A and B are shown apart, each in its own frame.
Chain A
């Protein structure tokens, strides 16, 4: 909708848009600022900004008192692991649905999405018992499986919408020229599908990183990721605002930075290809 406008109008729009954006972002910014204050400064009334006592102590204390590296490592293994495993199963499925569609493909996709409609709390007890019995409780393997299955419908949907945009004629042409299935996949499909696979991967790592129901209910200590780490931190204990902010910042920073760098690819993936 780019139209010629006067500089004055552009200035008004810019100020308005930036005010709204900063207002939306403010809670994140305030959390980060509070994490660098002393506890007394963090709860000061009126709130301190320029006059605040700045310190790095909160980070040192959270780092020292908790096992942050382990939580962090668990988060990385679980989110990346479940995404890669999901892609492994989803790529063939999405590929065949996109290129060899049948009259049931649409229903199948809808059914897959409908498996996500089941509220997690509804099946908490059976999942808990299954995990206990099979020895998957509080293991990374268990969470990788659970989050993979939870996000599989989303992964298949996203890949399907990307693959659908690869023109089928190219494949036919390659086949006429005598390309084998292996050549087809390796030299034609893969290069064209890589951007779609990459942005699917990104979005699912973020979804898995932020998942907080199964990660909290199906772990205790060994396999607990950052979402469980932060949940254990929210019980108030004396002066804890600055430390809570530091822990929060440490939990969201990795994915926030990843998200910022990849937001262009994410937008496309987020819309399930349904909005262009």
Chain B
């Protein structure tokens, strides 16, 4: 059905999207690349000129940088692990015959609708606060010392909060996938004497591969840029303990007011995202082909 003219029309229809996305991507990227090689400090505006690679070298020589890279990867990996493991378990549970599956789904999906600043400040103040938080009250009630979540375990706490936000997404996708699994196959396996564990291992899990791929891909895109949760709760601290790469760049731009360095950090972040994307696509792309 594709004639010459319909192909031309089709290109014309795609063009606006491609053009605006290209501009949206290339203009900030080009500017960032330009700034990355410049000396550009808002606090000393008279000093300017080319910086060579010094803005980049500053990162590689800073011990905080390697911590930030590892924090970024730990955050992405930690949240992925938690949401996938618990997502699969909760989806398996909800998929069982239960009363009130509709309301159940509504309760489980709710955290997804909570905007990140609200989620972060509610967890920080109402739950993790060492004096007034509910978790501290619980600890005191059990005769224990309240745990200083954000001070002593900043990364784990941030990972926990972000996992709470993303668990509904993972659970819902796994639930959708489970519901398309044929029950005949499972019953046949059960009659042949397959244990619950081996039914899960050889029938349910292979069926879920695609769903897990989707969860990993989409969540990684969003998790690499996580900013608001850290900004609201730990501000990257204590020290640099919970500083991720996006937050380190933000600190250079807004607190140190060093635009050149922030831009160099931006370029490093883009490269890191591309490396992660490359490995993701290579290892998971085959599951997505239809």
Question: A125 in the interface, Cβ–Cβ < 8 Å?
Answer: yes
A10–B97 CB distance below 8 A: yes
Question: B61 in the interface, Cβ–Cβ < 8 Å?
Answer: no
- Docked pose: A121 CA to B254 CA in angstroms: 11
Q: Which of A203-227 contact B (CB under 8 A)?
A: 206, 209-210, 212-213, 216, 226-227
- How many A-B contacts if CB must be within 8 Å? 306
A24–B108 CB distance below 8 A: yes
- Docked pose: A152 CA to B16 CA in angstroms: 11
Size category of the binding interface on chain B: 35 or more
B112 interface neighbour in A89, A153, A259, Cβ under 8 Å: A259
B35 interface neighbour in A28, A34, A96, A125, Cβ under 8 Å: A125
B117–A21 CB distance below 8 A: no
Question: B154 in the interface, Cβ–Cβ < 8 Å?
Answer: no
Between A30, A117, A216, the greatest number of chain B beta carbons within 10 A of the residue's beta carbon is seen for A117
In the assembled complex, which residues on chain B have CB atoms less than 8 Å from the CB atom of A144?
Answer: none
Chain B at the A interface: mostly helix, strand, loop or mixed? Answer: helix
In the assembled complex, which residues on chain B have CB atoms less than 8 Å from the CB atom of A25?
Answer: 107-108, 110-111
Question: A118 in the interface, Cβ–Cβ < 8 Å?
Answer: yes
In the assembled complex, which residues on chain A have CB atoms less than 8 Å from the CB atom of B35?
Answer: 125-126
Q: Which of B168-211 contact A (CB under 8 A)?
A: 168-169, 172-173, 176-181, 183, 186-187, 210-211
In the assembled complex, which residues on chain A have CB atoms less than 8 Å from the CB atom of B269?
Answer: 118-119, 121-122
Q: Which of B84-109 contact A (CB under 8 A)?
A: 90, 93-100, 104-109
B265–A256 CB distance below 8 A: no
Q: Name the residue of chain A whose CB is nearest to the CB of B177.
A: A275
Chain A at the B interface: mostly helix, strand, loop or mixed? Answer: helix
A28 interface neighbour in B98, B111, B253, Cβ under 8 Å: B111
A275–B173 CB distance below 8 A: yes
B221–A117 CB distance below 8 A: yes
List residues of chain A with CB under 8 Å of any chain B CB: 1-3, 5, 9-10, 13-14, 16-18, 20-22, 24-25, 27-28, 30-31, 34, 43, 45-47, 89-90, 92-93, 95-97, 99-100, 102, 108, 110, 112-127, 129-130, 149, 152-153, 156, 168, 171-172, 175, 206, 209-210, 212-213, 216, 226-227, 230-231, 233-234, 236, 241, 244-245, 248, 251-252, 255-256, 259-260, 263, 266-268, 270-272, 274-276
Please list 30 pairs of residues, one from A and one from B, whose beta carbons are closer than 8 Å in the complex, sorted by A's number: A2-B183, A13-B93, A14-B98, A20-B90, A21-B104, A24-B167, A25-B110, A27-B164, A28-B110, A31-B122, A97-B10, A100-B7, A102-B7, A112-B21, A117-B224, A118-B25, A118-B270, A121-B225, A121-B269, A122-B270, A125-B263, A149-B20, A152-B20, A213-B227, A234-B125, A252-B118, A260-B110, A266-B109, A267-B172, A275-B210
List residues of chain B with CB under 8 Å of any chain A CB: 1-2, 6-7, 9-11, 13-14, 16-18, 20-21, 24-25, 27-29, 31-32, 35, 90, 93-100, 104-127, 131-132, 134, 136-137, 140-141, 164, 167-169, 172-173, 176-181, 183, 186-187, 210-211, 213-214, 218, 221, 224-225, 227-228, 232, 245-247, 249-250, 253, 259, 262-263, 265-267, 269-270, 273-274, 276-277, 281, 288
Sort A-B residue pairs by CB-CB distance and give the 10 closest, nearest first.
A122-B266, A92-B13, A126-B31, A96-B10, A121-B246, A123-B28, A100-B10, A93-B17, A210-B115, A96-B13
